[in-house]
Amino acid sequence: MKILGIDIGGTGIKGGIVDTKKGELITERHRISTPDPATPAAIIETVIELVKEFDWQGPIGCGFPAAVRHDIVVTASNIDQSWIGMNAAKAIQKATGCPTHLVNDVDAAGMAEMKFGAGKDQKGVTLMVAAGTGIGTALFIGKHLVPNTELGFVHVKGMPGEHYAANSVRKSEDLSWQEWAERLNEYFKKLEFLFWPDLFILGGGVSKDFDSYKQYFTLDTQLVPAESRNHAGIIGAALAAKEALK
């Protein structure tokens, strides 16, 4: 099944047509900068632009940077507050004429990793952590997603973990790989104590540099880098839409 996957992020909105059977993009990925402010009208206009770019008339899956319950946005940290309470899927469907399903962005990336990437052979508890501008999480029991975990807000050193150990913090504080990884290790240890998962998957763009800092982790739980990387959110959003259309 072919679905247009869209990954709506705090800085960029990326899309591509996905072969959901193979878990692959069958087009080039197209990226548009996220409008500022990221209001519903501005984001929806960008989605329309992506639909036109791919000359698309079929289903759409959208990964969204917020907690999402039954296609309704319930939080807004990286987008405009006016999204809260909106049925975003219905609004996008009305604007594009395409059946649309919404899912949290890291949940989407996690779905791609669990089906086609680092978690494809896992049967126990898997926790994906995406370290970027903030920290997002996706929790799986077997292959079943526990949606909207938002564990980036778990506190470490008296502050939300994403304020202490996100990749954006590494950049803004000019931390070495070791300094940053030791912070991230503290955050993972907190999650380990709370969930005792069988596997941690580290996602986000920083996962490509995993070999530069993996030696600084001291966890009991296995930690591996994500495999799908930049395409995970797009592929996972398409997978979520496929599930919703069953």
Q: What was the pLDDT predicted at 229?
A: 74
- Which CATH homologous superfamily contains domain 2-107+231-244? ATPase, nucleotide binding domain (3.30.420.40)
| CB-side neighbour CA atoms (13 Å) of 1 | 18
Q: What was the pLDDT predicted at 188?
A: 99
Q: What was the pLDDT predicted at 77?
A: 80
Q: What was the pLDDT predicted at 66?
A: 93
Residue 131 CA to residue 143 CA, distance in Å, equals: 22
> Which residue is associated with the tokens 């705090």?
10
Residue 142 CA to residue 186 CA, distance in Å, equals: 25
Q: What was the pLDDT predicted at 230?
A: 76
Helix axes 88-96, 40-53, angle to 10 degrees: 50
Q: What was the pLDDT predicted at 10?
A: 80
Q: What was the pLDDT predicted at 11?
A: 83
Q: What average pLDDT values come out for the chain (246 residues) when binned by 10 residues?
A: 94 95 96 95 98 97 95 91 97 98 97 96 96 94 96 97 97 98 99 98 94 98 91 96 90
Q: What was the pLDDT predicted at 228?
A: 83
Q: Where are the domains of the chain?
A: 2-107+231-244, 118-226
Closest listed residue to residue 207, CA positions, set 110, 143, 129: 129
- How many CB atoms within 10 Å of residue 219? 12
Closest listed residue to residue 238, CA positions, set 63, 66, 88, 87: 63
CATH architecture type of domain 118-226: 2-Layer Sandwich (3.30)
First-last CA distance in the chain: 12
